[in-house]
Structure 1
Amino acid sequence: MQEPKYRRVLIKLSGEQIKGTDEVVSYDMLDYLAREVEAVHRHGVEVALVIGGGNIWRGNQSIARGMDTAQSHYMGMLGTIINSLALQDALERHGLHTRAMTAIQMNEVAEPYIRRRATRHMEKGRVVILAGGTGNPYFTTDSAAALRAAEIHAQVILMAKNGVDGVYTADPRRDPKATRIDHLTYMEALNRGLAVMDSTALTFCMDNNIPIIVFNALQAGTIERIVMGEQVGTLVSRA
């Protein structure tokens, strides 16, 4: 039986990826994502998840209307916790053992994030959902994904996108001449301003040599194919 290429992965999801057409959270999308994670977990791969909160709270819009930036960011962090609990429930309905851990202490809802405890949960076969961003304003959930990946020694960050199967030379939804790039260095992505993740997170990944694979979250089976070593999407790495 083929062995997985990656034994410990961190999957970064956006809040929009669990949003339905007319609802904040789509049960169908939660079920779909749970099945995708289950397929990977079946191979003995240790999985951590970080999810955004954009389906609940759009911080930039509130800041543009005059809300204090830190206040808005904390509200966004709470949105990520709501999404994480919804995802946890979907995963457990598929028979997976999970732990939700938060950067903002909320003991009645989830465990506080402790690095060694998170890695131990993963070693025991539990899917760990890391909520609340970094626990600090001014940092996105992209930065949280990069930081947590370094802390738990994930071999790769799997960066899920909606309807886009990698990094392109331009937005393929607007420019029909845009072409997909199979491989980029961190510096190329930064210099060209390509949509991998925010620049703070990307620089952190470069400094800590954490590879990133950008893929289409809506193509069933893609995460499993990546974990098993198939070249899918765009790889961003040192060389």
Structure 2
Amino acid sequence: MPAQRHKRVLLKLSGEALMGEDSYGINRSTIVRMTEEVSSVVRLGVQLAIVIGGGNIFRGVAPGAQGMDRATADYMGMMATVMNALALQDALKHQKVDARVQSALKIEQVVEPYIRPKALRYLEESKVVIFAAGTGNPFFTTDTAAALRGAEMGAEIVLKATKVDGIYSADPNKDPSATRYSRISFDEVIARRLEVMDATAFALCRDQKLPIRVFSINKHGALQRAIDGEDEGTLVHV
């Protein structure tokens, strides 16, 4: 029996995923490839919301933020996510996909403020909703924002898109013997301190019984397979 496709999904997309092989910024061919995959699932009727990070431009805990007030650095990181969100919206426009950006920080000359009922209406109208600026609060990561927005939007699953194809017992780049988990519980992830997402995000999704699938955005067709409920990456469950 084939797996059932998820109808409403929250995709957490890291800023680093937009870099491709570049050392910083946005790689054009990478963002085009990603938006092609996004457009293909949207055309199948999937309601898709995206939370995007800003680590390719700036983040509060980056080396460049040393000596800077953490809250100030985090606000700068939030603005970096707005830049990424606008770039993603523009790339989706070229794929003929209607997308709206909503920001937790009020920058109304550039993007809409986050309004939950409006975001829900956009999803029901088959528009992609891109959430920028995290939660709007310092000290909270965009992973936590993904868990929060996923719960608020009534998503069936949070898809965490990374450069690694799942959660491993150790860093696969350092330990060739590291094994990938196909499925793992929230409690196990937290107890073993497997830091693919922060503990606050894991705890929030666990409490809301909102599963997370961690997969590689660099694998062709991986987003489609994750949405279709196939054995792609690692499923984190209650």
TM-score, L = length of structure 1? 0.95
Which 4+ residue blocks in structure 1 deviate beyond 3 angstroms? none
Structure 1 residue 59 displacement after superposition: 1.6
Q: 1:3 to 1:201 in 2, by over 3 A?
A: closer
Contact 2:166 2:214 in 1 (8 A): yes
Contact 2:59 2:74 in 1 (8 A): no
CA distance in 1, matches of 2:189, 2:176: 21
Structure 1 residue aligned with 2:235: 235
Q: 1:94 to 1:4 in 2, by over 3 A?
A: farther
Q: 1:199 to 1:63 in 2, by over 3 A?
A: farther
Structure 1 letter corresponding to 2:177:
K
Q: 1:23 to 1:173 in 2, by over 3 A?
A: closer
CA distance in 1, matches of 2:116, 2:90: 22
CA distance in 2, matches of 1:156, 1:192: 22
Structure 2 residue aligned with 1:196: 196
Structure 1 residue aligned with 2:18: 18
- Stretch deviating more after TM superposition (134-143 or 3-12): 3-12
Structure 1 residue aligned with 2:170: 170
CA distance in 1, matches of 2:226, 2:53: 22
Structure 1 residue aligned with 2:79: 78
CA distance in 2, matches of 1:45, 1:233: 20
Structure 2 residue aligned with 1:159: 160
Structure 1 residue 63 displacement after superposition: 7.7
1:223 corresponds to 2:228: no
Structure 2 residue aligned with 1:120: 121
Q: How many residue pairs align between the two structures?
A: 236
Ranges in structure 1 where 5+ consecutive residues have no aligned partner: none
CA distance in 1, matches of 2:141, 2:155: 19
Give per-residue Cα distances to partners, 1:143-193, cap 9 Å, x unaligned: 00000000000000000111x111000011110100010111100000001
CA distance in 1, matches of 2:182, 2:24: 34
Query: Aligned-pair RMSD on alpha carbons?
Result: 1.4
Contact 1:36 1:223 in 2 (8 A): yes
Structure 1 residue 195 displacement after superposition: 2.8
CA distance in 1, matches of 2:67, 2:113: 32
SS of 1:128's equivalent in the other structure is strand
Contact 2:3 2:230 in 1 (8 A): no
Give per-residue Cα distances to partners, 1:18-52, cap 9 Å, x unaligned: 11415511111110110110111121000000110
CA distance in 1, matches of 2:72, 2:82: 16
Structure 2 residue aligned with 1:101: 102
SS of 1:143's equivalent in the other structure is helix
CA distance in 2, matches of 1:74, 1:88: 21
Structure 1 residue 64 displacement after superposition: 6.1
Contact 1:189 1:196 in 2 (8 A): no
Structure 1 residue 90 displacement after superposition: 0.3
CA distance in 1, matches of 2:156, 2:108: 29
Structure 1 residue 108 displacement after superposition: 1.2
Q: How does 1:37-52 map to 2 (within 5 A)?
A: 37-52=38-53
Structure 2 residue aligned with 1:27: 28
Structure 2 letter corresponding to 1:34:
T
CA distance in 2, matches of 1:208, 1:93: 35
- Identity percentage of aligned residues: 47
